[in-house]
Amino acid sequence: MNRKAERVIEVSLFASATCAIVIVALILLFLIKEGAPILLKLGVRNFCLGMTWNPIAIAGEPSYGIFPMIVGSIYVAIGSLILAVPPGVACAIFLVEVAPGWAQSLIRRGIELLVGIPSVVLGFFGLVLLVPLIRENIGGCGFSILAGSIILAIMALPHIITISADAIKAVPATYREASIALGATKWQTIKGIILPGARSGIVAGVILGMGNSIGETMAVLMVTGNTPVLPEPLYNVLEPARTMTANIVIEMGYAAPGDHQQALFATGIVLLLMVAVLNLMSHHVLSRIGVER
């Protein structure tokens, strides 16, 4: 093949690599183009901190305040982490430090499968099993922050396990050997040497899990009840809530072009910013400690 053909192929390879840049740029451009007008009209402050979401007002002016949804997103995400981090980290320790070979491959296969379950199937599972279970045994209407947190925790588990396991593996073997040689038991080594050594990596995993949970749509949508108001009282996890993702998906179906649709794109901007900040924080921690992802 001659030089010219080589050059053509090289350029087209470069072009496919730049596709990612183009797509990201277009996503930002279109989100801003569609969402910025309403943000400018109402003011970012009023939009983000407004307490009422009432896009189709029968009497009076419609209002677009997404504060309850921001709280809802953060609420279910934190709830999911509280539920998923302890067993996730424990499972990661078991996977790397304790498990015999067969258990390791079993857990790895299990994690792969768990990641593969579509979120809509998990949401459906929550809808038919978890929601009635909460309604009948704990109280409330079942569609709740608690149900959302549990389903999100199941989705977050595999990611938390994988990243924590990577962080634990990154602790130098010499530390481990030194601790064992000094007569420490396995648990003393884990508690005193490995966990402190892997702490930053685990924290990075947790932050990333938070970002994933905030960005998750279908599973949350099907079990949290989707009322766009703050839970009353605020600590009641049996109250329903609506997340930003659910807000977009529910209302895109009937939002008329104009303020309402723009408000949904603006919700997307706020959502993207929050997820991006969390992802960047996580990457920063991971790159500082040199864990390859």
Question: What minimum distance in Å lies between the beta carbon of 246 and other proteins?
Answer: 9
List binders of other proteins among 166-225 (CB under 8 A). Answer: 185-188, 190-191, 211, 214-218, 221-222
- Establish if 24 lies at the interface with other proteins (CB under 8 A): yes
Quote the tokens at residue 292: 């390859």
- Establish if 230 lies at the interface with other proteins (CB under 8 A): no
User: Which residue do the tokens 């009641």 mark?
Assistant: 236
List binders of other proteins among 35-74 (CB under 8 A). Answer: none
- Establish if 260 lies at the interface with other proteins (CB under 8 A): no
- Establish if 105 lies at the interface with other proteins (CB under 8 A): no
Quote the tokens at residue 194: 């490995």
Quote the tokens at residue 267: 């919700």
Beta bridge partners of 53: 64
Closer to other proteins by Cβ: residue 191 or 199: 191
List binders of other proteins among 126-165 (CB under 8 A). Answer: 127-129, 154, 157, 161
Is residue 71 within 8 Å of 239, Cβ to Cβ? Answer: no
**Among 40, 51, 87, 132, contact with other proteins (rule: CB under 8 A):** 87
- Establish if 121 lies at the interface with other proteins (CB under 8 A): yes
Is residue 157 within 8 Å of 82, Cβ to Cβ? Answer: no
CA distances from 56 to 18, 98, 251 (A): 42, 57, 11
Q: Kindly report the backbone phi and psi dihedral angles of residue 48, in degrees, each rounded to the nearest multiple of 5, phi listed first.
A: -75, -30
What string of DSSP letters covers 121-158? HHHHHIIIIIHHHHHHHT-S-S-SHHHHHHHHHHHHHH
**Among 42, 76, 81, 111, contact with other proteins (rule: CB under 8 A):** 111
Question: What minimum distance in Å lies between the beta carbon of 9 and other proteins?
Answer: 6
State whether residue 195 is helix, strand or coil: helix
Distance CA 135, CA 285 (A): 40
Question: What minimum distance in Å lies between the beta carbon of 93 and other proteins?
Answer: 5
Closer to other proteins by Cβ: residue 43 or 118: 118
Quote the tokens at residue 62: 């419609």
Sole window of 48-56, 74-82, 105-113, 165-173 interacting with other proteins (rule: CB under 8 A): 105-113
Closer to other proteins by Cβ: residue 182 or 234: 182
Question: What minimum distance in Å lies between the beta carbon of 293 and other proteins?
Answer: 9
- Establish if 34 lies at the interface with other proteins (CB under 8 A): yes
Question: What minimum distance in Å lies between the beta carbon of 65 and other proteins?
Answer: 20
Q: Amino acid identity of 75?
A: Y
**Among 37, 50, 62, 110, contact with other proteins (rule: CB under 8 A):** 110
**Among 156, 263, 264, 291, contact with other proteins (rule: CB under 8 A):** 264
**Among 51, 56, 120, 178, contact with other proteins (rule: CB under 8 A):** 120
Closer to other proteins by Cβ: residue 40 or 277: 277
- Establish if 26 lies at the interface with other proteins (CB under 8 A): yes
- Which bin fits 2, alpha (ψ -120 to 50), beta or left (φ > 0)? beta
Helix 259-289 crosses helix 195-215 at what angle (to 10 degrees)?
Answer: 170
What string of DSSP letters covers 269-282? HHHHHHHHHHHHHH
